[in-house]
């Protein structure tokens, strides 16, 4: 039996620093839990452009198609701002998502009790929050045609087209229903069926798919009302499914309910491969933070939690994912804080590697 394979793409900025802590976690699972991964590493983003003149080399793309999962750090930096749009670092990430056909983006918003005071909302509103937003990732207004800036008479007009097929809606809906079955069996679908034909189709198709999941309680909500409800009482939700544009907005809103964008992971999933595992890319929500790169100030928790998502969704290791999440919760409860988590109540400051070491110590204590 072959080991599961993992391609690591640290990327730019703080990406290599936070990924180094993930490598320590991966090594721990091999040594202490007998969970051994075949790990390879390659370039993406600005560092790939520096070496190859492209943000994602074809050979790297081919590797990504072959492995069981891809784990990415971050891409981008100010030194690449003046590059042509076609070779900007972010194009490497977009190519991975598009060519792997990663249509289902999972963005959890989980508030650890130790960090509830970091939210701008009242503590009782966010303490214990654990919701999941499923965003359609490969279609909608970001990809629809026609698009562009055109001359119309004496002025320019910018055009983007919101376009969805039934099959595109159905497959992301099934992804969300499958997830709801493993959680609280409650799913809220958000669109704008009151003013958009694509929203009408979205609601009709999600309702049709729901017949395959009679145990899941399905509700519908207009996306703007959903944004309001997320800030009023977010714990009314469990799983939310929505389109590319609204998912982009709502997941960032939900991320800040937890008080720290730097704490949140994400997973982008595609169709099952021959081995039954979905094609998958895991990455922290945060960016490359070039202002603190190389200083040991970065918080590695979002990247480590992205690996926890890989354990759960790609490698069927839900118990081990829960072990890792519990270790992180223990470290935070003990008051250890990277620079981004140092609030008025203080805490014990630790470096990027110090946080990784503390999480490994908590994993040891869990045995």
Among 24, 27, 50, 142, the one annotated catalytic: 142
DSSP state of 2: P
Helical H segments across 2-142, by residue range: 15-33, 46-52, 58-66, 89-99, 123-126
Give the three-state DSSP class for 281: strand
CA dist., res. 341 & res. 177, Å (int): 34
CB 76 within 8 Å of CB 287: yes
Helix locations, 79-232, DSSP H: 89-99, 123-126, 166-182, 197-210, 223-232
Collapsed DSSP state (helix, strand, coil) of residue 94 = helix
- The residue from 130, 252, 334, 357 that is catalytic is 252
Q: Give the span between the Cα atoms of 84 and 11, in whole angstroms.
A: 19
Output the furthest CA–CA distance in the chain (Å, rounded).
71
Catalytic: 192?
A: yes
The token duo for 40 is: 């390879």
Q: Is 252 an annotated catalytic residue?
A: yes
Catalytic residue among 12, 42, 238, 248: 248
Q: Are 264 and 305 in contact (CB under 8 A)?
A: yes
Closest CA to 27 of 364, 265, 336, 264: 364
Nearest-10 crossing angle of helices 58-66, 89-99 = 40
Q: Is there a catalytic annotation at residue 248? A: yes
Q: Is 142 a catalytic residue?
A: yes
Choosing from 88, 192, 279, 330, the catalytic residue is: 192
Partnered with residue 187 across adjacent β-strands are: 218, 239
In this structure, what are the phi and psi dihedrals at residue 233, rounded to the nearest 5 degrees? -155, 80
C-alpha to C-alpha distance for 42 and 175, rounded to whole angstroms: 29
| Alpha-carbon span 10 to 34, nearest angstrom | 24
| Annotated catalytic residue, options 130, 178, 224, 334 | 224
Per-residue buried b or exposed e for 146-179, using 16+ beta carbons within 10 Å of the residue's own CB: eeeeeeeeeeeeeeeebebeeebbebbbbbbbbb
Q: Among this protein's residues, is 12 annotated catalytic?
A: no
Residue 165's Cβ-side half-sphere holds a number of Cα atoms within 13 Å equal to 7
DSSP secondary structure letter of residue 14:
T
Where in the sequence numbering do the catalytic residues fall? 142, 192, 224, 248, 252
């Amino acid at each position: 039996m072959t080991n599961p394979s993992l391609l690591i793409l640290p990327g730019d900025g703080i990406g290599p620093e936070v990924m180094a802590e993930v490598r320590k976690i991966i090594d721990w699972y091999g040594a202490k839990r007998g969970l051994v991964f075949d790990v390879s590493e390659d370039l993406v983003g600005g560092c790939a452009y520096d070496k190859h003149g492209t943000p994602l080399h074809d050979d790297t793309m081919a590797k990504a198609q072959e492995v069981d999962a891809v784990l990415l750090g971050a891409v981008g930096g100010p030194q690449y701002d003046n590059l042509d749009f076609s070779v900007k670092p972010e194009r490497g990430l977009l190519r991975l998502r598009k060519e792997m056909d990663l249509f289902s983006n999972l963005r959890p918003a989980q508030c650890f009790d130790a960090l509830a005071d970091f939210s701008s909302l009242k503590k009782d509103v966010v303490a214990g929050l654990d919701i999941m937003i499923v965003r359609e990732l490969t279609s909608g207004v970001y990809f629809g045609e026609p698009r562009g800036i055109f001359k119309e008479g004496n002025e320019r007009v910018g055009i983007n087209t919101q376009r969805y097929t039934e099959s595109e809606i159905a497959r992301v809906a099934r992804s969300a229903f499958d997830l709801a079955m493993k959680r609280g069996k409650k799913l809220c679908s958000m669109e704008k069926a009151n003013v958009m034909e694509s929203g009408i189709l979205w609601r009709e198709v999600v309702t049709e798919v729901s017949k395959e999941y009679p145990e899941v309680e399905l509700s519908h909500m207009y996306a703007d009302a959903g944004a309001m409800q997320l800030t009023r009482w977010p714990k009314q939700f469990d799983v939310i499914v929505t389109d590319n544009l609204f998912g982009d907005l709502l997941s960032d809103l939900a991320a800040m309910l937890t008080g720290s964008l730097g704490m949140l992971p994400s997973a982008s999933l595609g169709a099952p491969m021959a081995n039954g595992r979905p094609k998958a890319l895991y990455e922290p929500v945060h960016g490359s933070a070039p202002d603190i790169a190389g200083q040991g100030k970065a918080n590695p928790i979002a990247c480590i939690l992205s690996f926890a998502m890989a354990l759960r969704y790609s490698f069927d290791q839900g118990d081990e994912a829960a072990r890792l999440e519990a270790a992180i919760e223990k470290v935070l409860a003990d008051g250890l804080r990277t620079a981004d988590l140092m609030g008025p109540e203080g805490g014990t400051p630790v470096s990027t590697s110090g946080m990784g070491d503390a999480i490994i110590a908590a994993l040891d204590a869990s045995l």
